[in-house]
A and B are shown apart, each in its own frame.
Chain A
């Protein structure tokens, strides 16, 4: 772990970003086993589900979990054992993400040009878990780039350098995708889709969600239960005026505010009601639900 300028901020090179502390993750079903199996079998993974259902947290958790030496979980995580650790490369995809952004590009230098590896290339080289978040946001030509990596070939062609990079053992491609945004334009191509196994993420059941909220936010058990109920009720409104229900994330946020002493109703207003919709009527209804649930 290379920490430079420690006093001011932490900075890691891409290959050296490890998940060292165990992130809190509460498995909802068999997703952990599936991930482990896919990792062992070198099958790329597609995480599907609405925002705030724990996709990113899950990947972090798996990066940590897979880094643990088998059956000796207690002796984990000292710098000397870096060899076991699996780096986690997260790339947030956006509309203007180009192939060069992922693979790398030549930069002008005093002497001429210098090649800089892109994050994907570096993940391939270091055998990292590469997590492409919100893959549908990226341009179609960019998504095609990962095709050779995502099938049996496991290679990344670097055209500009005239190279083909073979993925290091341990390299794992994970992409996430939110079908809620589905419009004709933002959909995954079939050819991309069918290169992945898909693990579906849904909001956890209320009890599990309450546990997550309680653990993450530090609010009381009662508050966590109430928040989970609120989440459940708001999700009932999906497709009736709401595009997406309240995610666990916003519920946690309001839990955090409550833990810091904000009145529950107020906390829900700022974290949940105003966050998830601008429609006045829907806001009003959700506020009514909030005021029903919280005293």
Chain B
């Protein structure tokens, strides 16, 4: 040893210190000779190279710790490996040694050399590689703790091959992998294999995969994770470049379904994989939305159809799995039994209109709820007098037809409220079926409450200021909640009966619905008495009359209730009859305490009596019952709860509807003008009184009440809405190109399909066209154009005027007509004389076919129209300076101004001039015409600018708008053409023309496939033109793009088009072409 100490003294001081420190610890572990060997190794390491003393320090530092776990031979091996590394790079050795204590705890000694080898193989002699290798040693302790050594080796191999591409990436992956792999179970192997595959194809993705994997994999059922990863690997091998995206979306999709079903989905994926790997991703992506519409069992059918399609038409199949094709939509549609309101809204609306004869709209219940005017239940059907509100989706029955039947029943019931006058209740109108007692009661009540200060509101109403007849009526009854419940039951029962009488075809289904409503009613026995009796009334109204449990002491009362209800089963029964019936039923029910009754006090009864209701029987019953519950202490009773909803009947709020109706018409209920206008305070008072809001505590939420009142007034249009324009509509829908169908939520927006030529199918609701009116500019532009082109204008006008008499010319040699065509007649006579069969075409007639043309001009307002056209071209009219001196001066001035204003002309300027000229021509010939511009960015923002609407007449405003036509964004032609077509279709003209003026090929964000296939846009445009032609519209395309020939041929097919060689001729050529086209 002494010779060693000598050597040691030559070393740097920190090293010496470490040496001594380590020696102290090790002397307890190692034997003498082992100590010597250790010291020798340490010295050797430290002195290997100039900078290796750092490695030595590190070695000495940790050797004490390491020695605890290793036998001396393993220790030596560990040391040798470090020494070996140190020869290559001392810093590598530093990292190696530093990792030692962490490693030896978990790593089997025989693996140490291999482990060191892993790090060594990452080191390629460069600074970057040494950082990476060091990093590897750094994370190794945690790696070996969590992974099997085998996995560590694979991972290291992965990192090494990544490092061949990018050290930075490898470095990051190392850190990420350390965390991500730790959390994995058996799927780790599959994941590493996936990563390996990617190093060959898309190595950048590896990092992304590491990033997302720990978030996404746990969503999948553990046993399926490996399978899912193998699927991803397969896809990656097939060339998928977005494995990480697949991992995220795929696992999200799988995560949303039940663990048991995941295997099945993966089976489907495997099946699809062999046909079209691309479709797998699409399938998983749409899985969630598809499964929200159909069941897992139905998914197979939907999938099969797609799988078959994809074999024949890969593109179409892809679109199918993305649910971006009509075929796919249709398949889903037919499979799913649930019915969305949107799909049948039109039919239901017309149906409701037909039944009621009123302009009824059909919309979702939630819309009414959002208005905050008293309706709160989103799932219920209801009406507020002008609209029928229905739940957005029905999924009660296993088939679409049955679900539609439900919609039909529900809307028929709501319409019945309107058709059979639920809201037309008039307080003083006789009921016909009952002795009218409303007025008497009112008088009695008035006498009773006149002195009572608490009834002020009532008295104010009684002075002739009732807001509605309905509230006047309900004010008669002290328990308004009970009153409303009874009235609702009786009125709904009346309507059910009436509907079945008026619409015998509905009987069957109505019956079914009533039956199923009965099934879900609560047992009578379980209810407190008063509620049980109200429930009994519900049963009667649902036509259940047999085997009903009734408390023994109220059997008589029940019989009278049944008779009251029965009386409304009459086509002549009006809402007033329901009201009178309610008064009577209320008399009975309010006398029944809401207490529990022991079971033995109930008995089963049948109520299908033929006996008629009689007033005497009622008054006798009332007498017998005495004051009943009315006098008793409330404490013993349970709080009265309204009966459970009968869902097909929906919500019924007669008082609110009458209030709304009154506010809408702005009149008092009896139609007298001069009554006080409705104030917000009055409204609040009404709402507070009304039972329809379902407010539990009086005075609760004065704010809410005020808000209700405010909303009601807004709804009725009493106060101008204070909201900003556009509020109330959803935010601008921003969906990227991968998204699904769009929806037009704002006014003046329209949705159109788009043609995907490779899928040979439409993408449904793909584009939103937003119609805007061009803002008005200066009239000067129009005037200037007129002056600049004065000679041309005269010429054009003359040509068009000449065109008119042409249509009145004689048509000769006709089989019949106004007169003999003399020439033909003479010929015929000669023929006859000479024994030849004469022609019978010997008449002429005037062709008085009137000119009947409607035309829509569609201007390209894309950014490219801002291109300047080559300068130096003399302006039109340069040559013909006027002779007259005054005119000449003006001409000169106008020219100078023109020159000062702009030195060059843009394509759009010529388009504008052409339009201005056309206006003149069109006005002279009297055709119906519209001028529009289009541009936009993205499929959700196709802008459609109105310069002159078809219906509009030529005003100065139109002329001013021309000035403001300016280059904007991109060119998505298809939707613009479809929108223009829609405008033309509304015209009645015999000849309809769609004139498209463009400056280049259609293009827009996402208006091509993967941004490379321009054909997509061309094909969509072509399809839009074909659609127009199918609708009897003649399309014509004019382009100023000299290279237009190549794509115009594809775009227009056999339709007419012209490529304008000389842009400058556009203003002249436009009227000429139009003339040629229409005459």
Seen from chain A, the residues whose Cβ lies within 8 Å of a Cβ on chain B are 98, 100, 139, 183, 185, 226, 229, 232-234, 236-237, 240-241, 265, 281-282, 284-286, 288-295
Q: Which of B350, B412, B845, B848 contacts A237 (CB 8 A)?
A: B350
CB distance from A180 to the nearest CB of B (A): 14
Contacts of A265 in B (CB 8 A): 505
List B contacts of A240 (CB < 8 A): 350, 353, 359
Q: Digit string of B896-934 for contact with A (CB within 8 Å is 1, else 0)?
A: 000000000000000000000000000000000000000
Q: Is the CB of A185 within 8 A of B850?
A: yes
Q: A98-B818, A236-B357 are in contact. Are A282 and B502 (CB under 8 A)?
A: no
User: Is B502 in contact with A237, judged by CB distance below 8 angstroms?
Assistant: no
Contacts A236-B355, A286-B354 known; 8 new A-B pairs at CB < 8 A: A229-B502, A233-B355, A236-B353, A240-B353, A281-B350, A285-B350, A292-B412, A292-B505
Q: Are B347 and A284 in contact (CB under 8 A)?
A: yes
Do the beta carbons of A294 and B354 come within 8 Å of each other? no
Q: For the complex formed, measure the closest distance between the CB of B342 and the CB atoms of chain A, giving whole angstroms.
A: 13
In whole angstroms, how far apart are the Cα atoms of A291 and B505 in the complex?
Answer: 5
B501 to chain A, nearest CB (A): 11
Contact between chains at A295 and B505 (CB < 8 Å)? yes
Q: Which residues of B contact A100 (CB under 8 A)?
A: 818
List residues 391-447 of chain B with CB under 8 A from any CB of chain A: 408, 412
Inter-chain contacts of B351 with A (CB < 8 A): 285, 288-289
Whether, in the assembled complex, B150 has its beta carbon less than 8 Å from a beta carbon of chain A, the answer is: no
Tell me whether B356 is interfacial, beta carbon within 8 Å: yes
B852 contacts chain A at the CB level, 8 A cutoff: yes
Q: Are B347 and A285 in contact (CB under 8 A)?
A: yes
When distances are taken between beta carbons in the complex, the residues of chain B under 8 Å from A282 are 350
Chain A residues, Cβ within 8 Å of B346? 281, 285
A183 CB contacts on chain B under 8 angstroms: 988
Contact between chains at B503 and A293 (CB < 8 Å): yes
CB-defined contacts of A290 to chain B, threshold 8 Å: 505
CB-based closest 10 A-B pairs = A285-B350, A236-B357, A292-B503, A233-B354, A285-B351, A292-B505, A284-B347, A281-B346, A295-B504, A288-B351
Among B349, B353, B408, chain A packs the most CB atoms within 10 A around the CB of B353
Whether A294 contacts B505 by the Cβ 8 Å rule is yes
CB-CB nearest in chain B for A282: B350
Q: Are A294 and B504 in contact (CB under 8 A)?
A: yes
List the A residue with the shortest CB-CB distance to B358. Answer: A236
**Cβ contacts under 8 Å, A139 to chain B:** 848
Complex interface: chain A residues within 8 A of B507 (CB): 295
- Residue ID in chain B nearest A98 by CB atoms: B818
Contact A285 B504 (CB under 8 A): no
Known: A98-B818, A100-B818, A284-B347. A293 touches B505 (CB 8 A): yes
Q: Is B190 an interface residue (CB 8 A)?
A: no
Instruction: Identify which of residues 536-560 in chain B touch chain A, using a CB-to-CB cut-off of 8 Å.
Output: none
Bound together, the chains give a CA A55 to CA B134 distance in angstroms of 103
A238–chain B nearest beta-carbon distance, Å: 10
- Whole-angstrom distance between the Cβ of A9 and the nearest chain B Cβ: 26
Which A residue's beta carbon lies closest to that of B407? A288
16 CB contacts below 8 A, A to B, read A229-B502, A232-B357, A236-B355, A240-B353, A281-B346, A285-B350, A288-B351, A288-B408, A289-B355, A290-B505, A291-B505, A292-B505, A293-B504, A293-B505, A295-B504, A295-B508
Q: Kindly state the separation between the CA atoms of A240 and B818 in the bound complex, as whole angstroms.
A: 43
Chain A, Cβ-Cβ closest to B988: A183
**A187 CB → nearest B CB, Å:** 13
The answer to the question of B331 belonging to the interface, with a C-beta cut-off of 8 Å to chain A, is no
Q: Which residues of A contact B347 (CB under 8 A)?
A: 281, 284-285, 288
Chain A min CB distance to B890 (Å): 41
- Considering the chains assembled together, what is the distance between the CA atoms of A288 and B348 in angstroms? 9
B503–A236 touching, CB < 8 Å: no
Whether B506 sits at the interface, judged by CB under 8 Å, is yes
Q: How far is the CA of A281 from the CA of B354 in the complex (A)?
A: 13
Question: Which of B347, B350, B408, B988 is packed against the most chain A CB atoms within 10 Å?
Answer: B350
- How distant is the Cα of A285 from the Cα of B350 in the complex, in angstroms? 6
On B, residues with C-beta under 8 Å from A are 346-351, 353-357, 359, 408, 412, 502-508, 818, 845, 848, 850, 852, 988
CA distance A295 to B508 in the complex (A): 8
In the complex, chain A residues whose CB is within 8 Å of the CB of B349: 285
B986 CB, min distance to chain A CBs, angstroms:
12
CA distance A236 to B349 in the complex (A): 12
Q: Which residue of A lies closest to B356 (CB)?
A: A236
Q: Tell me the smallest distance from the CB of A259 to a CB of chain B, in Å.
A: 18
Instruction: Tell me the smallest distance from the CB of B508 to a CB of chain A, in Å.
Output: 7
CB proximity of B869 to chain A, nearest CB, Å: 42
Q: Given known contacts A139-B848, A236-B357, is B350 in contact with A226 (CB within 8 Å)?
A: no
Which chain A residues border B355 with CB–CB below 8 Å? Answer: 233, 236, 289, 292
Contacts of B504 in A (CB 8 A): 226, 293-295
Residues from chain A with a CB closer than 8 A to the CB of B508 are: 295
A229 and B412 CA atoms in complex are apart in Å by 15
**Which residues of the partner chain A approach B818 to less than 8 Å between Cβ atoms?**
98, 100
Our pick among A98, A185, A226, A285 for the contact of B354 (Cβ within 8 Å) is: A285
Chain B residues lying within 8 Å of A236, measured Cβ to Cβ, are: 353-357
Cβ of B421 to closest chain A Cβ, rounded Å: 16
**CB proximity of B975 to chain A, nearest CB, Å:** 23
Q: How far is the CB of A165 from chain B (nearest CB, A)?
A: 21
C-alpha gap A284/B344 in the complex (Å): 10
Residues of the B chain whose Cβ atoms lie less than 8 Å from the Cβ of A226: 504
- In the bound complex, residues from chain B placing their C-beta under 8 Å from that of A232 are 357
Contact A234 B354 (CB under 8 A): yes
Q: Which residues of B contact A234 (CB under 8 A)?
A: 354
Greatest chain A CB density within 10 A among B408, B504, B852 is at: B504
Interchain CB contact under 8 A, A237 and B354: yes
Determine the chain A residues whose CB is within 8 A of the CB of B502 once the complex forms. Answer: 229, 293
Q: Which residues of B contact A288 (CB under 8 A)?
A: 347, 351, 408
Smallest beta-carbon distance A223→chain B, Å: 11
Q: Name the CB-closest residue of B to A288.
A: B351
In the assembled complex, the CB of B953 is this many whole angstroms from the nearest CB of chain A, namely 14
Across the interface, which residues of B come within 8 angstroms of A185, CB to CB?
Answer: 850, 852
* Complex Cα gap A282–B349 (Å): 10
Q: Which residues of A lie under 8 Å from residue B506 when comparing CB positions?
A: 292
Tell me how far the C-beta of B219 lies from the nearest C-beta in chain A, rounded to whole angstroms. Answer: 42
Q: How far is the CA of A232 from the CA of B845 in the complex (A)?
A: 46
Closest chain A CB from B824 CB (angstroms): 13
Distance A265 CA – B848 CA, assembled complex (angstroms): 47
Q: How far is the CA of A185 from the CA of B928 in the complex (A)?
A: 14
Closest to B359 in A: A240
Inside 8 A of B357's CB, which chain A residues have their CB?
Answer: 232-233, 236
- Bound CA–CA A237/B346 (angstroms): 12
Known A-B contacts A229-B502, A295-B505; A241 and B350 likewise in contact (beta carbons under 8 Å): yes
Q: Which residue of B lies closest to A139 (CB)?
A: B848
CB distance from B863 to the nearest CB of A (A): 40
Q: Which residues of B contact A237 (CB under 8 A)?
A: 350, 353-354
Q: Please report the C-alpha to C-alpha distance between residue A290 and residue B351 in the assembled complex, in whole angstroms.
A: 10
- A236 to B357 alpha-carbon distance, docked (Å): 5
Chain A residue contacts of B503, Cβ below 8 A: 292-293
Q: How far is the CA of A172 from the CA of B513 in the complex (A)?
A: 60
- Name the residue on B nearest A294 (C-beta): B505
Q: How far is the CA of A183 from the CA of B412 in the complex (A)?
A: 36
Task: Output the nearest chain A residue to B506 by Cβ-Cβ distance.
Answer: A292
For residue A119, give the distance in angstroms from its CB to the closest CB of chain B: 16
Among residues of B, the one whose C-beta sits closest to the C-beta of A245 is B354
Enumerate chain B residues within 8 angstroms of A286, measured Cβ to Cβ.
Answer: 350, 354
User: What is the distance, in angstroms, from B394's C-beta to the closest C-beta of chain A?
Assistant: 15
How far in angstroms is the closest Cβ of chain A from B991? Answer: 13
**With the chains together, A229 CA to B349 CA distance in Å?**
19
Point out which of A98, A226, A229, A289 has the most chain B C-beta atoms below 10 A from its C-beta.
A289
Closest residue to A242 on the B side, CB-wise?
A: B350
A139 to B504, CA, bound (A): 48
Contacts of A284 in B (CB 8 A): 347
Give the docked Cα–Cα distance between A229 and B350 (Å): 16
State the CA gap A59–B525 with chains docked (Å). Answer: 70
Give the distance in Å from the alpha carbon of A237 to the alpha carbon of B347 in the complex.
12
